[in-house]
A and B are shown apart, each in its own frame.
Chain A
């Protein structure tokens, strides 16, 4: 069962930042926080992951709360191609035992 809670849907305007929240109040010390996204009719795509510290890569930033009970995926400038379902997943010891939840469906308006 998924151990994360995300809003069902969010909307954003093109070229504006998007903050996608994820609650994981029962996270354990060995759980890594992973984000994937799934564009329409495609397989999921890795976005970013972290353990305790905030992380940045070319796609996004991941802000992790100090108590690690929540995290936020930040898309700095949303484009129409960022419209997708975004999944926040906890993975124990970073082992590949992924359980997807329902995710957040992001709509980007021009």
Chain B
């Protein structure tokens, strides 16, 4: 089983400051033949379904603001919001798609300090 563990569980950041969310996979999600990391990030606001932010660990989905960026490789990944906006308050999830049984992290709740 691929277990995805996010840290921290919750985070409070001041407006305009940087927010960093981590995701660790129990096994590598880097596929050597294509050198791609099979990892995505989602944002879920209260009462809404999740929204895709990033795939291949660092490729932003169309329409996602460039203050959102993804990095990392192998088992350790980071979602960074460079300058937190009020509308970024949400729960963020990572997801691996390396295996046919996709799994999500437990989520990180991001709030305004």
Question: A and B from one assembly?
Answer: no
